[in-house]
Chains A and B, each alone.
Chain A
């Protein structure tokens, strides 16, 4: 069997009209009398789907909503670990919805969740939340005149949002949220790098492993520069431009909570400063829109702990390493037959962009 065809026959999934029908039925059971209108698939992919719709009540009211679901209700839990196509310790939809609710109740900038359905439901693991209007595409947020004002305040606002997030009472968090302090996180990416290289050596026609001395230098540097006594709390895990809904006044909501975990909050600050999120705006290290000083000041002024720039730098290094290894992983997904996408294959050639940046980052420190 050609590896590239494997996923085609194991994950049947639902047709778009099946999803729309089931969604309408579930929404009718949850919301007061009314109808689902304008059901539209916004984005689809191997891992997650987003649907937009409106609930029009019999009383004339209308609510904009989003469905976030796993495509295919079989197969997703059959394969364990990264070899099954998961890059991470990702949360299932039920836990993600629960986490979003916790943050919402704590006053965080997140869409309100209305209802969630478990993985064995015919619609698959999914949840329905409010649709927050605004721009999500990072390059537009960074370039369009409409967001010029927002860009000036977003670094500070990110600090404020993160301070609130990191202060969420750990006792209120979903019970199965993963503990991911720095060491297991590093070990996770170590395993990913080695696993991909071994797969190439043993299972591909080329039959050669892949070597990344710059990643090795970085792993060594991380070992030697690990922050001591980091406090533990909630971490968003993918807090960056691209996961923000932005309006003229700034960030309106934070999306994509599936990498949420318990760890060192400085991880979120460092990740936001990784070069990949600057989309060419190199003089603005915070997400392509702002300066580190503003991010840190926003964080501290909103009650976050005193920021040690060295610790944030550590997490920026780890974030850049993660992104480089994820580039390898994208190519691996195609070369191992998990997906059929030549675009993913080409991303493997971008790992070296992160490596050259890493050399500079570990020299600066």
Chain B
């Protein structure tokens, strides 16, 4: 059952704005840095709430089509973990050497989705999108 408003994203957004607008200008020294990090963390979590689910399902689809299996039965975390374990072991063992282009393309798009959450301003991310 959905929770009442404000939503999780709205709550976090409110706290983030409080940190940036009210708390930050009053701080000095090492606390300034810590407060910025704290506000950044709240914005990461907001983006994760908004984008995390679709990133997970895109990653799952990508893994399934790359590896040609469904993954271990269970929730999406279990499936993702089993397929990622396979992918990592296969790369490590050289079994995917001849599918490098497909592997790179899957890994790149998964990383782009991670960066859209973790740090969408990162220069390497913008470059990978062709910006």
Contacts and interface: CB of A to CB of B under 8 A. Distances in A.
A220 B107 contact: no
B115 A353 contact: yes
A220 B118 contact: no
Given A208-B81, A342-B38, A359-B108, A349 B44 contact: yes
A282 interface: yes
A219 B92 contact: yes
Given A353-B115, A356-B115, A213 B88 contact: yes
Interface residues of B, number: 35
A343 B35 CA distance: 10
Interface of A: 208-209, 211-214, 216-217, 219-220, 275, 280, 282, 342-343, 346, 349-350, 352-353, 355-357, 359-360, 363
B88 A357 contact: no
A350 B114 CA distance: 10
Contacts of B94: 220
Nearest to B63: A213
A216 B128 CA distance: 19
Contacts of B106: 213
Nearest to B86: A211
Contact of B107 (A213, A275, A280, A342): A213
Interface string B94-118: 1001000001101110111011001
Contact of B104 (A280, A282, A363): A363
Contact of A360 (B85, B118, B127): B127
Q: Which of A208, A217, A219, A346 has the most CB of B within 10 A?
A: A217
A352 B85 contact: no
21 contacts: A208-B81, A211-B81, A211-B84, A212-B88, A213-B88, A213-B107, A220-B91, A220-B97, A342-B34, A342-B41, A346-B40, A346-B44, A352-B118, A353-B124, A356-B111, A356-B112, A356-B115, A359-B111, A359-B128, A360-B124, A363-B104
A359 B107 contact: yes
A342 B118 contact: no
